[in-house]
Structure 1
Amino acid sequence: MSAPVTTHSPRADQPSDHGPVVAAGLVDAHIHPDKSSWGGAWMSRAAAADLSEFIANDLATQRGYTRSVEERAHALLQSALASGTLAMRAHVDVSSELGLRNVEGVRAAADRLAPWLTVQIVAFPQFGLLTNPGTEAVMAAALGAGADLVGGIDPLGLEGDVAGHLDAVFGLAARSGRDIDLHLHDGGEPGLAQIREIAERTLAAGMQGRVTVSHAFALADASEPRLGETLDRIAEAGIWVTTCALGDDPVLDPGLLDRHGVQLALGSDGVRDSWTPFGTGSMVDRAHLLAYRTGAMTDAELERCYRAASIDGGRLLGIPEISLPVQRDSPTRLEFPGESLAQIVVDRPAPAAALRDGRPVPGR
């Protein structure tokens, strides 16, 4: 796939006189707006040694918020839109305790920004699907209350039952006709084995192109003997993977995935929530972090990181106007000050203009 159209001046030390850099709209393929404290006072965070402690901190933080899910999510979504994000996939908590309130809050926030920002909601069992009784029923209800996809989380590491967890996730997807986006933090061969099992189930269910594995930290360990085999199985099953280049988390190598034919999109993950004090909601910032973390050097490598945050995300979410390289007159596009798309990834400017379907995006 060719990179979005860019402009170049004859010399890198002189400003371009050929107009702005034109680029595809940005897509945040993995974000948690219901958890965010965006727009509120500074929030101090407790330390966490493992996933279970992070999850406990998260639940305590959500219980303590005084601002509604809709208010906090809208503040973050509005900021992301101003930074050029035109679509996102939001992973939103559902559980026996939270019920549908987070899904309803994020959907209400998203509706206020339509049609400029497209938001897909994943019903996400952050606190366990099997281990938190009643959550599976809430997941099913969420799919009729604003959620678009079925989520899942660490079938082995959190739930301790790979077959049971995947039975529930794929069962919900089959009954509702929805796609799947499943968190997988487990590393090493246990993580790879779960990914291969997800690939097998995807093929058996005929869901090629409709399943995403988010984070997929096991795919970042080049020392694993079965990494190549696992990547080939993912490609065969048409599974998407998302990475977020967040903090000290493992980050997936776009070049390696490209060589195996694996589809990659980029997201923010948590933004100013109990999990992290960092994040801006800008996918230009996130493309910069992906490039930095993976040692991008050439223009092609830098542009590849932008593509993961734009066109490839548009393909994942199935948004035609953000799924192809743009031209100067494309009705959906961003315009940046600068000389080239590679420079944009390094310098991280805000877009000077954003259009969707030929209309300027408001609030810029």
Structure 2
Amino acid sequence: MADHSPLVAPGLVDAHIHPDKTSWGDAWMRRRPSVTLDDFVENNILALGEYGASVEERAYALLSQALRNGTLAMRAHVDVGSEVGIANVEGVRAAAERLPDLTVQIVCFPQFGLLTNPGTLDLMAASLDSGADIVGGIDPLGREGDVAGHLDAVFGLSSRTGRDLDIHLHDGGEDGLAQIREIAARTRAAGMEGRVTVSHAFALCDGSLPSLRETLDRVAEARLWMTTCALGPDPVPDLDLIEEHGVQLALGSDGVRDSWSPFGTGSMVDRTHLLGYRTGAITDADLERCYRIASLEGGRMLGIPELSVAVDATSATRLEFDSPSVAQLVVDRPAPTRVIRHGRVV
């Protein structure tokens, strides 16, 4: 430890992660080539029989790693469907209950299709009584081919159960923006401002699209949240443009060493570094913004007051780092020297 006082920083929040898919703590997973979204999903299905450890044990290993590295809350997207039933939700919830210092919101995620996979909507409803907290969705057009039908289903389930909504949207181009505008319109019509998230939202990352600015304004009006993961070749948003339009943005890990990708460390400090690197952060203010997106903004998105406010050395929930500044912390990527929640060292 250096002779300076520890740097105090807010707890980190992983706003988008898939712990049921991870191979963390299990044998090395050999990945199959994938190009399209359908390829990735098909390889995901093939991998189901290749894990050596249970969902609970793999998720527990990854969640423990995240907590050691300063993640105090996360939104976990967990597969629900005919291929897995609701077992993955139950496994991730069981893992989370073993780590009371980590807040885990579970999204029942129709990874394998909803309208295209009969019975999935009923399983999603059942999962909300078995450990899931939030309704999920996936590419109403690109994956399901029925924007109105898919949104009717997920907004309907959200309305009936009083749960928030988080929709994966990989679709790019003007088709992607049109879906985001429709999600924004439905959010406002349902009075769900601030309670709906569009995950990835790759179309919002394409500055060449004519309707991008209009769509960003609609997103801000509906108080939609956007999550990004700065993963591999995936598009990343223009942070200045997002900020200019008042769009709410949080950061996640996405898949960590699963069938989709061999990469990921379970550290949101690492992910914050990647966000800065991918978005061309140069100044201290740029780097500090990346940390804010990975901490305070994530806390606001998940609705956790103690993780959405600035902290100091007396705060009951905080991280301590051996680093002279937040900017250098984002560049150097150290693990925290102490993780403190509710006044207790984790």
TM over 0.5: yes
Q: TM-score, normalised by structure 2?
A: 0.99
1:321 aligned residue:
306
Alignment of 1:184-199 (within 5 A): 184-199=169-184
Query: Which ranges in structure 1 are unaligned for 5 or more consecutive residues?
Result: 1-14
Corresponding residue to 1:269 among 236, 254, 259: 254
Q: Give the letter for the 1:264 counterpart.
A: L
CA distance in 2, matches of 1:239, 1:141: 26
Is structure 2 residue 38 aligned with structure 1 residue 86? no
CA distance in 2, matches of 1:310, 1:244: 14
8 Å contact kept, 1:126–1:153: yes
Deviation of 1:17 (Å) = 4.6
CA distance in 2, matches of 1:163, 1:156: 9
Corresponding residue to 1:63 among 49, 52, 59: 49
Deviation of 1:161 (Å) = 0.2
Query: Which ranges in structure 2 are unaligned for 5 or more consecutive residues?
Result: none
Determine helix, strand or coil for the equivalent of 1:64: coil
Count the aligned residue pairs. 346
- 1:205-264 Cα shifts (integer Å, max 9, x gaps): 000000000000001100111100000000000000000000000011222111100000
Determine helix, strand or coil for the equivalent of 1:104: helix
Q: Give the letter for the 2:104 counterpart.
A: V
Alignment of 1:1-364 (within 5 A): 17-114=3-100, 116-361=101-346
CA distance in 2, matches of 1:253, 1:61: 34
8 Å contact kept, 1:16–1:339: no
CA distance in 2, matches of 1:333, 1:258: 26
1:10 aligned residue:
none
Determine helix, strand or coil for the equivalent of 1:107: helix
8 Å contact kept, 1:107–1:146: yes
Deviation of 1:42 (Å) = 1.1
Determine helix, strand or coil for the equivalent of 1:63: coil
CA distance in 1, matches of 2:241, 2:310: 22
CA distance in 2, matches of 1:318, 1:17: 36
Deviation of 1:20 (Å) = 1.1
8 Å contact kept, 2:65–2:266: yes
Question: C-alpha root-mean-square deviation of aligned residues, in Å?
Answer: 0.9
Q: TM-score, normalised by structure 1?
A: 0.94
Determine helix, strand or coil for the equivalent of 2:266: coil
CA distance in 2, matches of 1:247, 1:332: 32
Deviation of 1:62 (Å) = 1.5
Deviation of 1:16 (Å) = 6.9
Deviation of 1:18 (Å) = 3.8
CA distance in 2, matches of 1:328, 1:254: 29
CA distance in 2, matches of 1:55, 1:23: 37
8 Å contact kept, 2:8–2:311: yes
Determine helix, strand or coil for the equivalent of 1:249: coil
CA distance in 1, matches of 2:239, 2:192: 23
Runs of 4+ in 1 over 6 A off after TM superposition: none
8 Å contact kept, 2:26–2:51: no
- 1:245-303 Cα shifts (integer Å, max 9, x gaps): 00000011222111100000000000000000000010000000000000000001000
8 Å contact kept, 2:185–2:222: yes
Residue identity over aligned pairs, in percent, reads 71
